[in-house]
Amino acid sequence: MNVVNEAWFAMADLQNPELLARLQHKINNKTKPLGSLGRIEQLAIQLGLILGTESPRLTQAQMLVCAGDHGIVKHGVSAFPSDVTWQMVENFLAGGAAVSVLARQHGIALNVIDCGVNHDFAPRLGLIIRKVGYGTVDSLKEPAMSEEQCQQAMNHGREIVKSLPGNVVLLGEMGIGNTSAAALLLARLGDLDIADCTGAGTGLDHFAIARKVETLRLVLKRHASATTPLEALACLGGFEIATLVGIVLQAAIDNRVIVVDGFIASSAVLVATRLAPKVQQRCIYAHRSAESGHRLMLDTLQATALLDLGLRLGEGSGAALAWPLLQSASDILCDMASFESAGVARNE
């Protein structure tokens, strides 16, 4: 399956020993004991490498909440009905959802993207309509989407990023059933047992989780030949996840900072990094979700999250909560005095 231009996957290697040395020297010479700001120092250096400067300023951050419905929900893999997807999109736009509150609190531009919700929305400010279909089909019976639909969704993600200002994107999502899609992608691309990748999602009990696992095991068997990242995405994923893959690839090409939310957003990054490994250099993982598969997802990505707060909401809420840490890291690197400029004696 070849649905996108290979040029998408050609991006610069951010490993720059000279810039790294300058960044390390700069952070080491701030008025503090060496290494005393811990991971904030590492985060500041990563921001400098992504943005290619010793003074990385974060500008016009864009929260991209991609929404889509999933045909697999008819098999009882979610505690909520699929109508909740469009109802929550309306809640985002009305300013009442957690991610709406957090974006407003932190001055992040909130963009809600209809990638494939089973509902028609009235156009309005803050809504980007890029509908590929009215939800994916039942992946237990056939591929969740066609190759053409997968390509269209990824292209939409790319176009959205190119249309937006700033040098930071924060990944969010909404879609009843999308923890199942994320678990399927992790199991296939991480070569893991689906039982280890599957959790409660929106709040399933123990018995419902067991039924969910067996359903997803059958889906994997049905699509046993879908082994490449793009084949897996089309057969097992969702319109919102495919759109996020395009967003991640374009943001990486643009050398934007990519702030990854939880389990579903990480599944899109998993696909993107399998297509273009250097994507990983641009990614900052906001938090480790309480969704059971997310620990395995982060291990598979060889990633360490900034926060571990027991979150499992999605929407981009964890990315928004981590955003002040990125701002602090940037400001420390750019604005904190050095020993020389402050006239402070260092410990020799």
Tens digits of residue pLDDT in 198-246: 987 767 888 888 999 999 999 999 999 999 999 999 999 999 999 999 9
The pLDDT value given to residue 1? 47
Angle value at C-alpha 316, between 213 and 216, nearest 5 degrees: 10
Confidence of residue 121 (pLDDT cuts 50, 70, 90): very high
For residues 318 and 291, the answer to whether their CB atoms sit within 8 Å is: no
pTM for the predicted model, two decimal places: 0.96
Q: Residue 127's beta-bridge partner residues?
A: 112
Per residue in 50-71, pLDDT tens?
Answer: 999 999 999 999 999 999 999 9
Confidence of residue 5 (pLDDT cuts 50, 70, 90): low
Residues 116-133 have a mean pLDDT of 98
Q: How far is CA 31 from CA 20, 42, 324, in A?
A: 20, 16, 21
Place of tokens 């701030």: 30
The pLDDT value given to residue 37? 98
Place of tokens 């009305």: 94
Per residue in 196-211, pLDDT tens?
Answer: 999 877 678 888 889 9
DSSP string, 167-192: SEEEEEEE-TTHHHHHHHHHHHHHT-
What is d(CA 219, CA 222) in angstroms, rounded to the nearest whole number? 5
For residues 15 and 245, the answer to whether their CB atoms sit within 8 Å is: no
Residue 2 has pLDDT above 90, yes or no: no
Residue type at 169 in one-letter notation: V
Angle value at C-alpha 104, between 100 and 108, nearest 5 degrees: 95
Mean pLDDT, all residues of the chain? 95
For the chain, report the end-to-end CA distance as a whole number of angstroms: 60
What is d(CA 248, CA 254) in angstroms, rounded to the nearest whole number? 10
For residues 52 and 19, the answer to whether their CB atoms sit within 8 Å is: yes
Residue 74 has pLDDT above 90, yes or no: yes
The pLDDT value given to residue 6? 62
Residue 194 has pLDDT above 50, yes or no: yes
CB contact burial 237-247 (16+ within 10 A = b; e otherwise): bbbbbbbbbbb
The pLDDT value given to residue 348? 63
Q: Which two tokens stand for residue 68?
A: 């889509």
The pLDDT value given to residue 207? 85
For residues 270 and 228, the answer to whether their CB atoms sit within 8 Å is: no
As a residue count, the chain comes to 348
CA 25 to chain centroid, in Å, comes to: 31
CB contact burial 310-329 (16+ within 10 A = b; e otherwise): ebbbbbbbbbbbbbebbbeb
Q: How far is CA 36 from CA 33, 39, 81, 178, 347, in A?
A: 5, 9, 48, 40, 14
Per residue in 7-50, pLDDT tens?
Answer: 667 788 999 999 999 999 999 999 999 999 999 999 999 999 99
Q: Residue 46's beta-bridge partner residues?
A: none
Q: Which residues are catalytic?
A: 315
The pLDDT value given to residue 125? 96
Confidence of residue 100 (pLDDT cuts 50, 70, 90): very high
Residue 3 has pLDDT above 60, yes or no: no
Q: Residue 64's beta-bridge partner residues?
A: 111, 171
Per residue in 249-282, pLDDT tens?
Answer: 999 999 999 999 999 999 999 999 999 999 999 9
For residues 294 and 262, the answer to whether their CB atoms sit within 8 Å is: yes
What is d(CA 318, CA 308) in angstroms, rounded to the nearest whole number? 9
The pLDDT value given to residue 201? 72
The pLDDT value given to residue 7? 64
Q: Which two tokens stand for residue 135?
A: 């939800």
* Collapsed DSSP state (helix, strand, coil) of residue 136: coil
